[in-house]
Structure 1
Amino acid sequence: MSLVAKFVSVGGATLASRLLGFVREMMVAAALGAGPVADAFYAAFRFPNLFRRLLAEGAFNSAFIPLFSRTLEGEGEAAARRFAEEVLAALALVLAALTAVVMVATPLIVALIAPGFRSDAGKFALTVELFRVMFPYLVCMSLTAMLSGVLNAHRRFFVAALAPTLLNVVTIAGIGYGIWRGLDGAAVGRILSWSVLVAGVAQLVMVAFAAHRIGFSVRPRVPRLTPAVRRLLVLMAPAALSGGIIQINLFIGQIIASTREGAIAVLQFADRIYQLPLGVIGIAIGVVLLPELSRTLKAGHLREATHTQNRALEFALFLTLPAATALVVVPEEIIRVLFERGAFTPETTEATARALRIFGLGLPAFVMIKVFTPGYFAREDTRTPMVFAGISAAVNVTLALILFPRLAEAGIATAEAVASWINCALLLLTLRRRSQFALDGMLLRRLPRLAATLALMAAVLFLGARVFSAPFRPEAGLATQAFALAVLVLGGAFFYFGAAQLTGAADFRSIARNLRRR
């Protein structure tokens, strides 16, 4: 399977998950709005979700996949299985200890991650309750991440990418049950939290079965600090910061936003929108690129590694930039159609759209970080991205504290976008300085053509939304609004792809050949 076909495979599975995530967020918005229960749920879920991104998907995969791939490539299946068993034993011990500590210290943790909740005893108590229910989700997801890493190293990407859909399917069922029974907001929040835990178990079972299907199963071992495990821990420590910088910045934003009623929920709804292109494109590229670069560099094919990273960057920009353009030009229309109903008011739409527009400006940087970071991780350099992530986090905290009192949620979004662009620039410039990456002629020729195409697309979206504004008004009804948004988005996409072909910003025949090539 070609590199582009792998991106499409993972991206397609991720797209299914993110679309279901939209359905879930629409139901949450209708049931809870941006009220205290929504704030409590998202604050409680952010902590295990942060650890999942940092330890399970971020740091763990960034360290485990290169080591596992190289062991598999150089020493064979038996050695790779032994390494995985050693890692599993150590991981299970760490997770058990972490969960025990967190369960006892939950009130203290909630006071730290949502200091603004301490003035509302009911909201604080609900957050603690939901937190304790959902934290074991991290255990399931960490084990899922290890087995997903095994599948990815064997170039089986689809099942691991599809597993997150179970989270959305189960939580949608939970919210639907709560709405059908007419339960109050707090009861719906509790059902949501238990649904998250059930979904974690389901995802673990799914990837374990997929690993068993390819003949890979691990036996339990006594935890030991073997040289291989020690090397994994050395690589994981800095990767925990660098691999999950976007989540760290979101987490910092949540802490600051907790002092304003509804701000956490507003940021979550905006985050859900821009996470769609980020997940479909950025995460798909990161998942595929890391094992591919690890294998290529292990074989000493340096020119092929540079070519692979250029094509990944070209693919990322071609799909990310039009999505970012739409988020910047028509965020109000998107938010109104997707969320403005029930407890989600027009004022909440305006606040969410302001944050979403700024997240759209940062989206290309969020995705390019996913392209450039594997260039370090595949060389087992996790320290350099850690340093850059630390700089990015410092910028984010400083700007968020300055801007939040003035711009509210938009200030948090601005801080995260600026911090991500700084991180992206540092990653790219350092790779170039080390002669480990350079933009090739094909990409340099297409970038100005792509910029011209995007300018035309932005004009089409802007004029379309202004000329045909009536169908987007609340009184038009949901069906009319949805149809108008679909026409606007599909029309913009059709214009973009057509203009890209005419200007030479993309070569669709080459893309089709890559999809067919094995």
Structure 2
Amino acid sequence: MNLLRALATVSGLTLLSRILGLAREILVANLFGAGLLTDAFNVAFRLPNLLRRLFAEGAFSQAFVPILAEYRNQRGEAETRTLISHVTTLLGLAVLIVSLLGMVGAPWIIHLTAGGFSQQPEKFALTVELTRITFPYIFFMSMVALSAGVLNTWSRFSVPAFTPVLLNISFIGMMLLAAPYFAEPVKALAWGAFIGGVLQLLLQIPALAKIGMLPRFSLSFRDPGVRRILLLMGPATLGVSVAQVSLLINTAFASWLPTGSVSWLNYADRLMEFPMGILGAALGTILLPSLSKLRAANDAEGFSATLDWGLRVALLLTAPAAVGMMLLAVPLAATLFQHGAFTATDTLQTRQALITYSMGLLGLILVKILAPAFYSRQDIRTPLKYALISLLITQLLNLLFIFVLDLRHAGLALSISVAATLNAALLFRGLRRRAAYLPAPGWRLFALKLLTALVALGLVLWLTAGADARWLERSSLWRLTNLAWVMGAGMATYFATLFALGFRVKDFRRRVH
């Protein structure tokens, strides 16, 4: 398998999803602005989204994919199919129960996760109702994530990468076609999440059938593979819970800040999802099964070289994204969101969150590359330890940034950035200490050339973007055309500088068998 080609495939489809996701947020900003309605939906959807990451993309994938790769390499097709059936049945029953409990206990959940909403009865009641509609999303997406783990292990990356497109299509369709028919139009967003979950799950069935791994209902706690996955899921669940608990605490903090704080953070987060998904998630998607295969084959040299490749590609593509978002925070927020109910004040508030989020972009993406190196070795306790340290640092910084320095919602974003950078540094050090990763020659020269290209990029963006004030005042068409020009000039400068310094695409090609 050509890793660079796989990355291009996953990144391209992820880009399509992110573009549609951005179109969705532009539509949300235009229809609902940044206030009571969007705060209510963002809180309602955040919890099932977090639990989906906990049950599916997080703890489950970390425990499941390495063992699945081992079964495929060493046990044969029949035993692998049996393992998939047993795991699917157990996971499906677990998340179905969680979904039902969440729907019943929605009022208590909102009291715990967004206590500030209880001061506004209308806002609280709406959030509870939206939560009950969106909670089944956990079940659908957990099954989708299981399918993604199987398909990615078979190097079938296209379907899992395309799947999120259906969610955004569902959101956009519900807002455009169904919102006017609801007494409270924001409910169209909640039903968009529900329908999107169903569509994504249906897409997996033919893909799994094509590789002969469509699971059947078969409950078994005695399967040794299931037991091993459950044992790994214990620390994995704790590790993923740390990150999700941190986000929930941040949401609770934001619920006590001025109205709109949750939404400003959400809009900034939507912009962050472009590099996070296109680069971080895409690299993590292809690296976990690839590293798991190399680990199962006891190929230590290939393991280290593949991780080195991932780190270089991440730095090469993430660093310019971070610089660009910091320097173009107002142009980006104004061009994409400042329409209809979304005001210039909302743009400036979103800018604050985007700048502080961008400071930790490199750390956030490196975590998605370094952590799979531990998971592929079936070592989940070490990332858990580092995640706990990061959680403690995040909350201490929240107290400092909000109550001492009065940074408000920007302080919440900054605390996540600092903690993510620390987490990445700890993971890197842990791999080096275990001799699991030995950096390939040439890193100093690579870093020097990269820094040179970043300085060139920064100068061009600063000179071409101009003052923030004009981006708040000009027309949407002016913003769009000028943002395209500024970004185009910046990208051309960055990649031309890299080319002049000797970087070539062929140097980043790598195959894993």
TM-score range with shorter-chain normalisation? over 0.9
CA distance in 1, matches of 2:49, 2:317: 26
Report the counterpart of residue 110 of structure 2 in structure 1. Answer: 110
What is the CA distance between 1:404 and its match in structure 2?
Answer: 2.2
Letter paired with 1:213: K
1:43 partner amino acid: V
Is this contact kept in 1: 2:14–2:278, CA < 8 A? yes
Give TM-score, length-normalised by structure 2: 0.96
Quote how far apart the aligned CAs of 1:329 are: 1.1
- Tell me if the contact between 1:53 and 1:244 (Cα under 8 Å) persists in the aligned partners: no
1:301 corresponding residue in structure 2: 299
Alignment of 1:119-518 (within 5 A): 119-178=119-178, 181=180, 187-243=184-240, 247-260=244-257, 261-405=259-403, 406-466=406-466, 472-474=471-473, 476-504=474-502, 506-511=503-508
Query: What is the alpha-carbon distance in structure 2 between the residues aligned to residue 415 and residue 107 of structure 1?
Result: 29
Distance 2:31 2:100 in 1: 33
Q: Which residue of 2 aligns with 1:49?
A: 49
Corresponding residue for residue 5 of structure 1: 5
Change (3 A) 1:461 1:346: same
| Corresponding residue SS for 1:200 | helix
Equivalent AA in structure 2 for residue 190 of structure 1: K
d(CA) in 1 for partners of 2:86, 2:71: 13
Superposed displacement of residue 197, structure 1? 0.5
Identical columns (%): 36
Task: Give the C-alpha shift of residue 449 in structure 1.
Answer: 1.1
Deviations 1:437-470 (A, max 9, x none): 1322133321111012101211110111117x78
Task: Measure the CA separation in 2 of the matches of 1:265 and 1:477.
Answer: 23
Deviation at 1:304, TM superposition (A): 0.7
Instruction: In structure 2, give the amino acid aligned to 1:412.
Output: L
Describe the SS at the equivalent of 2:401: helix
Which deviations, in whole Å up to 9, do the C-alpha atoms of 1:332-385 show, x marking residues without a partner? 111000001111111111111011011111000000001100110000001110
Partner of 1:65: 65
8 Å Cα contact 1:107-1:128 kept in structure 2: yes
Report the Cα distance in structure 2 between the residues aligned to 1:514 and 1:148, rounded to whole angstroms: 22
Give the CA deviation at 1:217: 1.6
> How far, CA to CA, are the matches of 1:11 and 1:245 in structure 2?
27
Does the CA-based 8 Å contact 2:45-2:134 persist in structure 1?
A: yes
1:472 touches 1:484 (CA, 8 Å); kept in 2?
no
The corresponding residue for 1:36 is 36
Alignment size in residue pairs: 510
Root-mean-square deviation (CA), in Å?
1.8
- Aligned AA (2:451): A
8 Å CA contact 1:270–1:355 kept in 2: the answer is: yes
Measured after TM superposition, the shift of residue 58 of structure 1 is 1.1
- The one-letter amino acid of 2:447's match is L
TM-fit CA distance, 1:283:
0.4
Shift of 1:238: 2.0
| Residue 470 to residue 89, structure 1, CA distance change in 2 (3 Å) | closer
* CA deviation map 1:58-93 (0-9, x unaligned): 111111111111001101111111111111121122
Give the SS at the match of 1:438.
coil
Residue 159 of structure 2 contacts residue 204 of structure 2 at CA under 8 Å; is this kept in 1? yes
d(CA) in 2 for partners of 1:249, 1:458: 32
The 3 A distance-change label for structure 1 pair 444 and 225 is farther
Native 8 Å contact 2:100 2:136 kept in 1: no
What is the CA–CA distance in structure 2 between the aligned matches of 1:450 and 1:163, rounded to whole Å?
Answer: 34
**Using the alignment, how far apart are the partners of 2:506 and 2:426 within structure 1?**
34
Alignment-mate amino acid for residue 496 of structure 1 = Y
**d(CA) in 1 for partners of 2:39 and 2:469?**
33
Residues 245, 15 of structure 1: alpha-carbon distance in 2 compared, 3 angstrom cutoff: farther
Question: What's the CA shift string for 1:420-449, capped at 9, x where partnerless?
Answer: 011111100111111111322133321111
Displacement of 1:473 after TM fit? 4.2
| SS of residue in 1 equivalent to 2:235 | helix
Contact 1:144 1:208 in 2 (8 A): no
The question of whether the paired residues in 2 share the 8 Å contact of 1:144 and 1:204 is answered with yes
Partners of 1:274 and 1:360 within 8 A in 2? yes
Amino acid paired to 2:196? A
Q: Supply the AA of the counterpart residue of 1:233.
A: L
| Comparing 415-424 and 400-409, the one that deviates more | 400-409
Amino acid in structure 2 at the alignment position of 1:266: W
Unmatched runs of 5 consecutive residues or more in structure 1:
none
Aligned-partner Cα distance in 1 for 2:242–2:322: 20
Letter matched to residue 472 of structure 1? W
Conserved? CA contact 2:330–2:471, under 8 Å: no
Q: Are the aligned partners of 2:322 and 2:359 in contact in 1 as well (CA < 8 Å)?
A: yes
Task: Rate the CA distance shift 1:449–1:243 in 2: closer, same or farther, 3 A.
Answer: farther
Structure 2 residues without counterparts, runs of 5 or longer: none
The 3-state SS of whatever aligns with 1:163 is: helix
Deviations 1:468-509 (A, max 9, x none): x787343x32112101001111110010000011123x3234
| Counterpart Cα distance in 1 of 2:250 and 2:447 | 33
Contact 2:104 2:132 in 1 (8 A): no
Give how far 1:24 is off. Answer: 0.3
Q: Do 2:55 and 2:95's aligned partners in 1 also have CA atoms closer than 8 Å?
A: no
Residues 156-181 of structure 1: per-residue CA shift (max 9 Å, x gap): 011111101101011011111256x3
Tell whether the 8 Å contact from 1:471 to 1:484 is kept in structure 2 after alignment.
no
Q: 1:247, CA displacement in angstroms?
A: 4.5
Query: What is the distance in 2 between the residues matched to 1:344 and 1:42?
Result: 16
Which residue identity does 1:125 align to in structure 2?
A
